[in-house]
């Protein structure tokens, strides 16, 4: 870790549905949730070097609708002052969460329902809540970065000896005063399908 003029804050908000919904990710499979394995979370990280502010919000869902992302970024920007163009809203791509986008490819699939507007609202509120809290709780921080090795975590599912990116770049951020970890942020090149179509539990997978 190196001392810096960095400020950082992190927060999470739970948007796991309280009722049964269709689990998206396996076409033609009638998967209705029967419970929760682990919560679906909006996880936000705010970073500022005193000149530039940025917010990253990762969400345990398959896809983020463009319209929802724009609304959330505009709302977060209005609440925090962080420019909307400096706010990244992403999806972890879990296959154990509700449907969020009405895809043309699913129009003729009698199993796949339309996205539930109440769930989309719940997810948007969680994204905004996590982001604004991360911004509000920012403290002086230190940051470090490295690249980890993901060997053994996954594989090329078409060919076990085929190409695979096993590098995992990550940031580690801690409080400059208390030395307590604020957040870890990583990028792992994978298609996260540990839980398959036989699972009927909400999960970040």
Tens of pLDDT, residues 116-156: 999 999 999 999 999 999 999 999 999 999 999 988 887 78
Is the pLDDT at 201 greater than 70? The verdict is yes
Q: What residues pair up with 167 in beta bridges, in sequence order?
A: 149
Strands (E), 49-114: 53-59, 87-91, 97-98
Residue 68 confidence (pLDDT): 98
Within the chain, how many helices (H) and strands (E) appear? 2, 11
Q: How high is the pLDDT of residue 4?
A: 59
CA distances from 172 to 131, 145, 151 (A): 18, 6, 20
Instruction: Provide the whole-model pTM.
Output: 0.92
Write the pLDDT tens digit of every residue in 80-101. 999 999 999 999 999 999 999 9
User: Environment class of residue 62 by beta-carbon count within 10 Å: exposed (0-12), middle (13-18) or buried (19+)?
Assistant: buried
How confident is the model at residue 2, as a pLDDT? 46
Mean pLDDT over residues 37-50, rounded? 97
The pLDDT tens digits for 145-198 are 999 998 888 778 788 888 888 899 999 999 999 999 999 999 887 776 788 889
**What pLDDT was estimated at residue 93?**
92
Q: Give residue-wise pLDDT tens across range 6-22.
A: 999 999 999 999 999 99
Close Cβ partners of 184 (under 8 Å, ≥ 6 residues apart): 170, 171, 172, 173
Q: Using the 8-state DSSP alphabet, how is residue 127 labeled?
A: H
């Amino acid at each position: 870790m190196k001392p810096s003029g960095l400020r950082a804050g992190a927060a999470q908000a739970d948007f796991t549905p309280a009722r049964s919904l269709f689990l998206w990710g396996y076409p033609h499979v009638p998967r209705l949730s029967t419970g929760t394995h682990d919560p679906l979370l909006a996880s936000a990280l705010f970073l500022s070097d005193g000149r530039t502010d940025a917010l990253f919000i990762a969400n345990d869902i398959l896809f983020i609708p463009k319209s929802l992302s724009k609304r959330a970024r505009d709302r977060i920007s209005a609440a925090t002052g962080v420019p909307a163009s400096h706010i990244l809203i992403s999806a972890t791509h879990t296959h154990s969460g509700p449907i969020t986008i009405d895809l043309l490819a699913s129009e003729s699939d009698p199993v796949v329902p339309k996205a539930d507007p109440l769930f989309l609202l719940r997810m948007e509120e969680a994204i905004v809540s996590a982001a604004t809290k991360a911004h509000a709780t920012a403290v002086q921080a230190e940051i470090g970065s490295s690249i980890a090795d993901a060997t053994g975590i996954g594989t090329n599912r078409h060919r076990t000896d085929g190409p695979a990116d096993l590098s995992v770049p990550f940031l580690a951020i801690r409080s400059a005063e208390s030395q307590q970890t604020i957040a870890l942020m990583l990028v792992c090149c994978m298609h996260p399908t540990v839980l398959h179509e036989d699972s009927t539990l909400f999960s970040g997978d």
